[in-house]
Amino acid sequence: MRLHLDTNQRKLATVAGLCLVLAGMFTAVSYSVTLYRLFCQVTGAGGYTARAASDTAAQSARVVTVAFSTNVAPGMPWRFAPVQSRVQVHLGQDTLVFFRAENLSDTAIVGHATFNVTPDRAGPYFKKIQCFCFTEERLGPHQSVEMPVDFFVDPRMAKDADASDVDHIELSYTFFPSRQPQGAADLARFADAKPSAAAGQKLFATVCSACHELDRNKVGPPLDGVVGREAGSVSGYPYSAALAHAHIVWNATTLNEWLTNPRGFIPGATMPLSVPDKLRRQDIIAYLETLKPRG
């Protein structure tokens, strides 16, 4: 009788053990995609970008082009697009770019953005400091907002034999309706943000530096000490007649009008670039206000 009981107990123990193994396997399979995604987002594997608290890398002379693409999931009533299609950046350069989202519906919607970079081998070196993709994001009905992404490309990419030849990187986003809308951040925070000279410095590097240096003539005149300076007054720079005879002084008000629509503000001016977004203009102006004349 005792032998019979011992045999039954062993069978029950075996069945219980098998059930535990199967439960463990089922759990691992159920969470494998999530765990793999978390692993990729931490390490940059599989084309995911990595996350960084700040940019502590030394800027390199090496330049790469970073292009941007966007999508929304089918049935999600958002318009979502990059403000700039691409930027050229130095390895290690802290760069700020913007994406515009608009809710086309009559109700607030919470979305979540997935992301990756191509080629995959650039993923471990693409570091994001700030991104709307880090959290669930709420956008009010018919609200439109520009969302920043702060990133840099780690200079160590140039020393990686598998990635050293990469000179073009594409960062892609897709917005999906959120599965966890509770506690989502409100995208209105970007519309209500105050001007930032630190953000303006990063924007200057990506928006203005192709034409302007701080201390010497380039395509445009030097901009050190531009606030408080009369337009068209830098010695040795070939200004257009319209700007040379404009008789205005650069300050927060005139710079805002100039950056909004240069040729509308001063007819006959030749500057081709404008900055349509108010907050981005204010950030750049806040940075320019920190620059003092050299020498």
pLDDT profile of the chain (295 residues), mean per 10:
55 61 50 39 52 83 96 96 93 94 97 95 94 96 94 95 95 96 92 88 88 91 93 92 92 95 92 85 94 75
Helices (H), 130-251: 188-191, 197-203, 241-244
Nearest to 66 by CA among 89, 44, 82, 43: 89
**Is 288 strand, coil or helix?**
helix
Say which residue the tokens 């990419």 belong to.
157
- What is the chain's alpha carbon radius of gyration, rounded to the nearest angstrom? 26
CA distance 253 to 231: 13
- Beta-carbon contacts of 103 under 8 Å, excluding residues fewer than 6 positions away, are 77, 78, 109, 139, 140, 141, 142, 143, 144
Length, in residues, of the chain: 295
Neighbours of 66 (CB within 10 A): 21
**Is 8 strand, coil or helix?**
helix
Please give the pLDDT value at position 7.
Answer: 61
The pTM assigned to this predicted structure is 0.72
- Per DSSP, what are the bridge partners of residue 103? 78
Please give the pLDDT value at position 67.
Answer: 97
Please give the pLDDT value at position 52.
Answer: 84
Helices (H), the chain: 2-43, 188-191, 197-203, 241-244, 252-260, 262-265, 278-288
